[in-house]
Structure 1
Amino acid sequence: MPTRRFFLQQTGLGLASLLAGPWALESCRSTTARVPIAGQLRGANQAVGHLLRGGMTFPAPTRNRTVDVLIIGGGIAGLSARRWLHRQGLSDTLLVELDEQTGGNSSHGQNTVSAYPWGAHYLPIPDPRNTELIDFLRDTGTITGHTDQGQPIYNEYHLCHDPQERLLIDGHWQEGLVPERGVPASDRAQLARFFALIDTLKQAKGQDGRDAFAIPLDQSSADLTFRALDTVTFADYLDQHGYTSPYLRWYLTYACRDDYGATPETVSAWAGLHYFAARKGQGRTQTGGLVASSDVLTWPQGNGFLLDHLRQSVDSPPEQPNLLTHHLAYAIQPQQDEVRVLCYDVTAQQTIAIRAKAVLLATPQFVTKSLLRSLAPDRAAFADRVHNAPWLVANLTVNSLPQGGGMPLCWDNVGYNTASVGYITANHQDVSDQPKRVITLYWPLTDAPPHEARRRAYQSTYADWVQQVLAELETLHPGVTPSVERVDVQLWGHGMVAPTPGFVWGEARQQAMRPIGKQLFFAHSDLSGVSLFEEAFYQGIRAAREIVQALHPSTNPV
């Protein structure tokens, strides 16, 4: 099978020529020239975000607004908090988001072929004990009821259709992502031993009676037998326990890169095991079939389906909207009984002064650091510990995909020892006979320290990225390039938090979640140490509860 490096070397000159024309970049002036492949380079609005640290002089406030609760940040945590506050009757809220749309890495797009994700693309079946998430999934129509035994009943249209996943190894597509084809007996024995360990850890409980590994992770056992695993790297743990098989190590590296944007050498052993041992979902289908923890919920737009329901769960009156995008909060000024926040309206180029009884920073830590630099230097020190790897996500519209031998096209398609973590078929859930497809390629940039990988990523042009993306796709589907009609590229400079040793169970994370007085509150998946929908959703509710208790101490929020 040709490698990605071989493809780049052999076709680089021709592909560079192909890409030399004027491309349809969103930020470039329009052109009437014809180009072989259309597309654009996107990214979270770092130009606006960097105004926070760029020393810009913002205009004086020309508008004022007063609310009970101001939420800064429109990712899943902020939207989850907003939904929960409104359900508790605290409806005088305002959410501001610096980007042009809410959602963070759950944002999504659509073309004439299919909707598609720009980031998170599935939700594993949740533990039935996660009642708040189960309740939300019932609101979305994903859960349609419960059995007499209390098991959730899942809408089968939301469960990932078969065939689900395949791995290209030794030039052949095998079913499943755990390597099997050509794997020697000794390596198979190590794989079996590791998954037997996971079966044990799934059932394990600490001396406090809690599950050793749970989601949300704050509900995991405090037993030091398990928490000690947070002090060593996953790679060291595997070495110490004789897990040396290159096939097993590839699979575990794939898992860490896929969920954490990092490698076993970077994440803690607790986090590496949590990836496998915390999944305990179960349920039934509407026709009575079994739904297991290995099943996933997915939609063409990925977790954008859940995002849209979160956003729409609260009405925003047009005459006084309670959700404002393209607004940058740049100054937080605590006062005696309220907080004054200065917010820049990027579109109108005006500043609005917002007064709130409580402010929730549902922002990633690199943003929180900028907002609290003078107010809480200790929070800035915590932000410097957060390991955020950059990601590339590319949505490609193709009119065909040349297939090799073995398993046919699946929802999740991964190559053994390739640079990316593979692609999903965005319109896999589509029951129509649409011949074209949108495939979403995921590429955590883990080959350099995050700051260096981020710098390289932002210095690369759209043509650079298309060349690399097509080369990567050619390793999976030789000869596919002429079938690619469009390539849209998204860069996530701070794609997801990685749970490095000592991060999850260190005191610094606990401190970073605590309110400052009774006015400033915090919620984001960064504060869990893992970038999961479930964690962001939980963080929003956790902070919202704290806000209700601070504003109305006599209430008992459910």
Structure 2
Amino acid sequence: AFPWGAHYLPLPGTNDAELTAFLTEAGVITGVTNGLPVFNEYYLCHDPKERLYIHHHWQEGIIPHEGVPPKDREEIERFLAMMHGYKELKGSDGREAFAIPVSFSSADEKILALDAITAEQFLADNNFTSTYLRWYVNYCCADDYGTSVAQTSAWAMVHYFASRKGKALNAASDSVLTWPEGNYWLIKQLRKNLQTNIQPQSLAYSVNLKGNGVEVLYFDATRNMSKKIEANAVIMATPQFINQRLLAGTQRNLDYQTFEYAPWMVANITTDLPLNERRGEQLCWDNVIYGSEALGYVNALHQQVGIYQHEKVITYYKPLLGSDPRAARQQAYTHTFDDWKAAILADLQKPHPGMEKNIQEMNVWLWGHGMIKPSPGFIWSANRKNAATPLNDRIHFAHADLSGISIFEEAFYNGHQSARAVLKHDA
């Protein structure tokens, strides 16, 4: 098993009651002791967790420190201290400045002012000039948002560092939950009790308000025919660029063009290399290359403890950064498999020389619209909020892009909110 998309879930905060309940139901949380959740040890990411290839060797952890000049290290510490301050900060409305779900965050205008500038501008305004620090912050933005510091809202950048407040009895607050197949494991848990209600091989192509209900037209590929569903209410757990087409005949108070999506390339590679050719930290779950435009690779078999792994499967991630996502998508689709393979190997051969001789299999997948881009001014815009507004209390919306941040927690929260609204309406 290996992931093709998101591959981990940070520990949830205590304010996310619905997500905590789901993780308990799924056996991820096994109990509560002294008010703290106890997580299933099999699902907590095992050590060693992270390493960074820098200065021709692997260091422990992703924040650059080995071989980094004292001035740069001091600047990195100053930045991290500032982010910790934001983590503890509360707005004038008494809410946490940065929270998950995003809608739990403070609406204090002084804090929201960060959404008007880029992360790059934030770094410049606060005299953060270290090349090492700027690389690290850019890596973090690319990792969670598929955007560079020049494209990311400063509010979103700070949110990355200041919103994670998970607690556990048996894990550190920065621990993550992970599975060999990535977050697909979570999807399997969600659908476990709904399998008979899921109709695969079907493609919805039109959704319209009709009378006191909703009409859905879809194509049933198993019978090679179009069909119609008449429903009291519908939840559209689809991104806005899809909704624009499904709701082509419906007026919405929404500018679809402000919803931009970052394209990604993901590759899964089977190799018999030990992946420890260079000195330093041994193979970890997350393995990052300093200075690379990609995010490195995850050892997909990391959680399979006690099993000798002659062959390894690594998942390589690369957001296709660029100011114009449409152009990046179009360019990506002009590349052949051999083009992608050459680019991937050119990057991986820095820490793993001669790797091309030890690859058994490589598969590449392109996500044209991988995740919503939290560009300056987007997250706290009226347009984003309008996108979540139901139509006649009949058509409801649930997707991570409604939060402006594409993480599992936001998708789960938005889906839960829409489901509750539909149930309340039916009652």
Q: Give the TM-score taking structure 2 as reference length.
A: 0.97
Match of 2:368 among 493, 512, 522: 493
Aligned-residue offset at 1:377: 5.0
RMSD (Å) for aligned C-alpha atoms: 1.2
Bigger Cα Rg:
1
Partner of 1:227: 112
Partner of 1:70: none
In the alignment, the residues of structure 2 paired with residue 244 and residue 234 of structure 1 have an alpha-carbon distance, to the nearest angstrom, of 13
Preserved contact between residue 206 and residue 245 of structure 2 (Cα < 8 Å): no
Preserved contact between residue 402 and residue 479 of structure 1 (Cα < 8 Å): no
In the alignment, the residues of structure 1 paired with residue 113 and residue 309 of structure 2 have an alpha-carbon distance, to the nearest angstrom, of 51
Partner of 2:258: 385
Partner of 2:27: 141
Aligned-residue offset at 1:533: 0.5
Match of 1:168 among 33, 45, 53: 53
Q: Which runs of 5+ in 1 are unaligned?
A: 1-114, 286-290, 317-321, 553-558
Q: Does 1:205 align with 2:102?
A: no
Q: Which runs of 5+ in 2 are unaligned?
A: none
Match of 1:375 among 247, 250, 264: 250
Sequence identity, in percent? 47
Preserved contact between residue 234 and residue 394 of structure 2 (Cα < 8 Å): yes
Aligned-residue offset at 1:402: 5.0
Partner of 1:305: 185
Preserved contact between residue 128 and residue 152 of structure 1 (Cα < 8 Å): no
Partner of 1:6: none
Aligned-residue offset at 1:293: 2.2
Partner of 1:462: 337
Q: Does 1:396 align with 2:269?
A: yes
Q: Give the TM-score taking structure 1 as reference length.
A: 0.75
Structure-2 change in CA distance of 1:315 and 1:332 (3 Å): closer
In the alignment, the residues of structure 1 paired with residue 122 and residue 249 of structure 2 have an alpha-carbon distance, to the nearest angstrom, of 40
In the alignment, the residues of structure 2 paired with residue 239 and residue 487 of structure 1 have an alpha-carbon distance, to the nearest angstrom, of 40
Q: Does 1:278 align with 2:152?
A: no
Encode CA deviations 1:441-477: one digit per residue, 9 max, x unaligned. Answer: 0000104521111001112222222222222221231
Aligned-residue offset at 1:551: 2.3
Match of 1:405 among 268, 273, 279: 279
In the alignment, the residues of structure 1 paired with residue 276 and residue 322 of structure 2 have an alpha-carbon distance, to the nearest angstrom, of 29
Encode CA deviations 1:275-332: one digit per residue, 9 max, x unaligned. Answer: 00000001112xxxxx22211111111111111101113241xxxxx21223221122
Structure-2 change in CA distance of 1:221 and 1:377 (3 Å): closer
Q: Equivalences for 1:34-53 in 2 at 5 Å? A: none
Match of 1:520 among 383, 387, 395: 395
SS of the equivalent of 2:180 reads coil
Q: Does 1:422 align with 2:296?
A: yes
Preserved contact between residue 339 and residue 357 of structure 1 (Cα < 8 Å): yes
Q: Equivalences for 1:114-133 in 2 at 5 Å? A: 115-133=1-19
In the alignment, the residues of structure 1 paired with residue 53 and residue 312 of structure 2 have an alpha-carbon distance, to the nearest angstrom, of 19
Aligned-residue offset at 1:360: 1.1
In the alignment, the residues of structure 1 paired with residue 15 and residue 212 of structure 2 have an alpha-carbon distance, to the nearest angstrom, of 38
In the alignment, the residues of structure 2 paired with residue 433 and residue 484 of structure 1 have an alpha-carbon distance, to the nearest angstrom, of 18
In the alignment, the residues of structure 2 paired with residue 444 and residue 193 of structure 1 have an alpha-carbon distance, to the nearest angstrom, of 28
Q: Does 1:332 align with 2:207?
A: yes
In the alignment, the residues of structure 2 paired with residue 471 and residue 313 of structure 1 have an alpha-carbon distance, to the nearest angstrom, of 45
Q: Equivalences for 1:147-158 in 2 at 5 Å? A: 147=33, 149-158=34-43
Preserved contact between residue 263 and residue 319 of structure 2 (Cα < 8 Å): yes
